[in-house]
Amino acid sequence: MRDVVIIGGGLSGLSAARELQRLNIPYRLIEVKKRLGGSITSASTDGFVLDGGAFSFQRGDDWAFLDELNLQHALVPVVDSHHRDLVAFSGGTQMLVDALAKDLTGTFIHRMAISSLGTLDGKFTLCLENGLMWDAAAIIVAAPARHAERMFRTLAPDFSYRLLNYGYDTITRVSLGYKQGDMPIPPMFPWDVAIPFYSWTDSPQRVPPGHVLLNLGVRMLPKGVKPDALVQEIHRQIKAQGKPVISRVDFWEDADPLPPHLPNFTEKTTALEGLLPAGVALAGSDYHGLSLAARVAAGKRAAQQIGAYLKS
């Protein structure tokens, strides 16, 4: 059987790959970066686990899928500026990516992008950025809308046109580790739309004993802003005492998709999907839901949709 190509190795692409594997459908996953995870990236330093992308999630999400991944005990509590009941992953959100990828046996191609999609002699074709061409039995696009727009210009021009000018907000993720007592709790920022949310934790899995970790989302244009200056400004605003013992700053220019916040988003996505040829499925944060669990479910659903297409 010709295989299914999954474009994108973030949470959605990996969830789709797991489901294809469960259905015994051969697949190939192509990811332009050298690492898997997309907008999820975590690192452990000096006893702190710092997330550079997605960090905290609603406790009330449907976390049943964690059981399959042996991550049922992976969530730790986080205190939130907006009093939401949030959790984070004890080993950073990357532990979810690693668990999703762990048992995958399909082919993975890194550091190569798909530039366009088409059909030839009744087969799907994919053009790679190095000029090579693949064919495929079906395609799962798990790449953000801003990239999908270009890919689909030939295969589904109406679909591509609707993705044009898909909007995003920037997010700068800032993590600051403090000695307990140095950071006021709760940290109070002067009201400022530049810092729409922040949360903190002293969970022993995320910080060394006697410390606390503050994680913020900052909205600002990345150009020209030096990470050190940003850290100093936040430190000044919360009136912290000692210096942070650790800090991490990650700029994401196209981070927060805007359409999912608009009314009728689900209906609009369904209409969009109706513009795609059978055998092409969408998965990803730009098309399905705002919660992490919704994105995992959407990846799985895309694989099931392709499974049904291949059977038919």
Ligand X SMILES: Cc1cc2nc3c(=O)[nH]c(=O)nc-3n(C[C@H](O)[C@H](O)[C@H](O)COP(=O)(O)OP(=O)(O)OC[C@H]3O[C@@H](n4cnc5c(N)ncnc54)[C@H](O)[C@@H]3O)c2cc1C
What is the smallest separation between the CB atom of 130 and ligand X, expressed in angstroms? 12
Any contact of residue 8 with ligand X (CB under 6 A)?
yes
CA atoms within 13 A on the CB side of 25: 28
Any contact of residue 55 with ligand X (CB under 6 A)?
yes
Binding to ligand X by CB under 6 A, coded x per residue (else -) over 251-270, reads -x--x---------------
Q: Measured over all CA atoms, what is the biggest interatomic distance in the chain, rounded to whole angstroms? A: 68
User: Whose Cβ is closer to ligand X: residue 114's or residue 297's?
Assistant: 114
**Measured between alpha carbons, how far is 271 from 216 in angstroms, rounded to an integer?**
35
What is the smallest separation between the CB atom of 39 and ligand X, expressed in angstroms? 4
Residues 160-199 that bind ligand X (CB under 6 A): 171, 173
Any contact of residue 11 with ligand X (CB under 6 A)?
yes
Nearest one of 226, 234, 285, 225 to 255, comparing CA atoms: 285
Binding residue for ligand X, selected from 3, 23, 26, 32, defined by CB under 6 A: 32
- Name the one range near ligand X by CB under 6 A: 74-82, 139-147, 233-241, 261-269: 139-147
Size of the site for ligand X (CB under 6 A): 34
Amino acid type, 240 = A
User: Whose Cβ is closer to ligand X: residue 247's or residue 285's?
Assistant: 285
What is the smallest separation between the CB atom of 303 and ligand X, expressed in angstroms? 13
Residues 291-310 that bind ligand X (CB under 6 A): 291-292, 295
User: Whose Cβ is closer to ligand X: residue 10's or residue 307's?
Assistant: 10
Rg (CA), the chain: 21
**Measured between alpha carbons, how far is 14 from 106 in angstroms, rounded to an integer?**
11
The 3-class secondary structure across 193-238, one letter per residue, is CCCCEEEEECCCCCCCCCEEEEEEEECCCCCCCCHHHHHHHHHHHC
- Name the one range near ligand X by CB under 6 A: 69-77, 141-149, 177-185, 239-247: 141-149
User: Whose Cβ is closer to ligand X: residue 39's or residue 81's?
Assistant: 39
Nearest one of 170, 180, 167 to 212, comparing CA atoms: 180
Residues 88 and 76: beta-carbon distance below 8 Å: yes
Binding residue for ligand X, selected from 6, 17, 50, 53, defined by CB under 6 A: 53
What is the smallest separation between the CB atom of 215 and ligand X, expressed in angstroms? 8
**Measured between alpha carbons, how far is 304 from 307 in angstroms, rounded to an integer?**
5
Residues 292 and 54: beta-carbon distance below 8 Å: yes
Determine the 3-state secondary structure of 309 from DSSP.
Answer: helix
Tokens of 125: 């074709």
- Applying CB under 6 A, the residues found at the interface with ligand X are 7-13, 30-33, 38-40, 53-57, 113-114, 142-144, 147, 171, 173, 252, 255, 284-285, 291-292, 295
